[in-house]
Amino acid sequence: MSEIPLHGYTFMKYIAKRKSHDSGFTLIEMIVTVAIVAILSSLAAPNFRGMLENNRATVEANELVSGLLLARSEALKRGDNMTLCTSADQTTCAGNGETNFAKGWIVFQDCNDNQVLDLVAVDCGNAAPQLETIIKAQIGSDKMVVTKNGPAADQHFFTYKFTGRADLAIAFEVKKIAGGSALKAVRVARTGRVRTVTCSSGICPP
């Protein structure tokens, strides 16, 4: 029986080495794979962005709803007007210059119904004048824009009367910070009832 020549052993090592190389990706396969991933990513990106914006709009709408419901319940409990107004510092109303409720707001006991958190004691129907009280303060966000829609769009406040009713029905619209159509709307009926609706292509259900 003859011995296997050394060069044959070397040849077998070469074959094994070549097979191990063949098991990887070629440059063309890698380019095709990267191209497919890029195409799929470009298709998924708009959907992901839209989902993220809708989630942010939902958060803003829910925070506003919580403030409105609190204002109404406190108005009924205290027998006083309650106002929710825009506020950048969570201690005073921002005034007519700021109509974006996403920048922050406060709910306060508005005894004299002037839509201003008075810094001096006022008549609240008690034996002696007293300071109006902040019930809740909400820190602002730069993710969305929340403004009133309709005849009171330029107002920086919303007031519940001591009866738990409102002077007029109003809607707050939640939009992207860069503008565009409404994603959510918070509707308040004159009876004081609050509800949130989802808008489609800027059209919000009544």
pLDDT tops 60 at residue 30: yes
The closest alpha carbon to 168, from 153, 183, 146, 185, belongs to 153
Concatenate the DSSP letters of all residues of the chain into one string: -PPPPHHHHHHHHHHHHHHHHHTS--HHHHHHHHHHHHHHHHHHHHHHHHHHHHHHHHHHHHHHHHHHHHHHHHHHHHTS-EEEEE-SSSSS---TT---GGGEEEEEE-TT-SSS--SS-B--SSSS-B---EEEEEE--SSEEEEEESTTTT-SEEEE-TTS-BSS-EEEEEEETT--S-SEEEEE-TT--EEEEE-BTTB---
Determine the pLDDT at residue 180. Answer: 83
Residues 124-170 pLDDT 10s = 877 788 889 999 999 998 889 999 987 788 899 999 999 999 989 99
The tens digit of pLDDT for each residue in 58-101 reads 999 999 999 999 999 999 999 999 999 999 999 999 987 899 99
The residues, ordered by sequence, that sit 6+ positions from 111 with a Cβ below 8 Å of its Cβ are: 80, 81, 122, 123, 124, 125, 130, 132
The CATH number of 25-198 is 3.55.40.10
Instruction: List the chain domain ranges.
Output: 25-198
Where is mean pLDDT largest: 38-47, 126-135, 192-201? 192-201
